[in-house]
Amino acid sequence: MDLELALKMPFGKAVSFFRGKLNIPTEKWDDLWKDQHAKGFMVAGANRADLLADFRQAVDKAISEGTTLADFRKDFDRIVARYGWSYNGSRNWRSGVIYRTNIRTAYQAGRWQQLTDPDLLKLKPYLEYHHGDSLNPRPLHLAWDGLTLPADDPWWRTHYPPNGWGCKCSVFAAGDRDLARAGKSGPDQAPSMEIDPATGAPEGIDPGWDYNVGQAAGKSRRILDDNLQNALHRLGRE
């Protein structure tokens, strides 16, 4: 199934992942960092509890009902008008970022649960990276297309998609027969991981995206402790 089509269909594991998050009012996009996004829901600059709650409801509807970006934009416009919210960027760009980021991370978190199910791993113990169909592909994401590694390879801790803003890459389960069809006698060797000195993230990964959203979903909410204190402070200023 085409990934973009799949993202528009209700997916129980994705819904459960999203509904397990706590609302965290924030000022900036990086107030939550890396795996904290798996436990906290935020919209950069939405620092009021009621504003953020309305955005959460709109995103939940998009994930649980499979509503389109056009439908989400209607909710976005209504919320912005209701609160007189001032945001950065154009309306289409900002609403698209909120919609796509939340849907893709929720989908990939649920997908990780499927891919690492013990019964499936007995049959298909490898994961295969698939580059998303993009008009402007990231060179390294394209280079990773077809890369097949054991599901427990450390490479997936930092390179499980999405690997950046707008990343459409995905991962599929693979077994020995899949390797044979690809002309491989065994799994590939993980690429060397070079850190981009300008970002502090592995090359090819956007800053803050070098984590596995599926693995992070299994962590405790305690990773949000510092952010909860900051959120309470912000709410106290309302």
Structural domain span for residue 97: 3-109+220-236
Please state the pTM of the whole predicted model: 0.90
What's the half-sphere exposure (Cβ side, CA atoms, 13 Å) at 112? Answer: 22
Same domain, 29 and 50: yes
Same domain, 98 and 9: yes
Q: Residue 238's pLDDT band (boundaries 50, 70, 90)?
A: low
3-state SS class at 135 = coil
Residue 111, both tokens:
């997908």
Residue 164, both tokens:
């950046």
Same domain, 105 and 121: no
Same domain, 226 and 212: no
Same domain, 25 and 98: yes
Q: What is the pLDDT of residues 132-152, one digit of tens each?
A: 877 789 999 999 999 999 999
Question: 3-state SS of the chain: helix, strand, coil percent to 5?
Answer: 50, 10, 40
Average pLDDT over residues 199-221: 96
Rounded Cα distance between 191 and 24, Å, is 36
Give the C-alpha distances (Å, rounded to integers) separating 75 from 9, 81, 157.
19, 10, 34
Domain count, the chain: 2
**Which residues, at least 6 apart from 175, have a Cβ–Cβ distance to it below 8 Å?**
123, 124, 125, 126
pLDDT cut 90: percent of the chain above it: 84
Q: What is the pLDDT of residues 68-103, one digit of tens each?
A: 999 999 999 999 999 999 999 999 999 999 999 999
Same domain, 89 and 179: no
Same domain, 75 and 20: yes
Q: Which amino acid is at 194?
A: E
Q: What is the pLDDT of residue 237?
A: 53
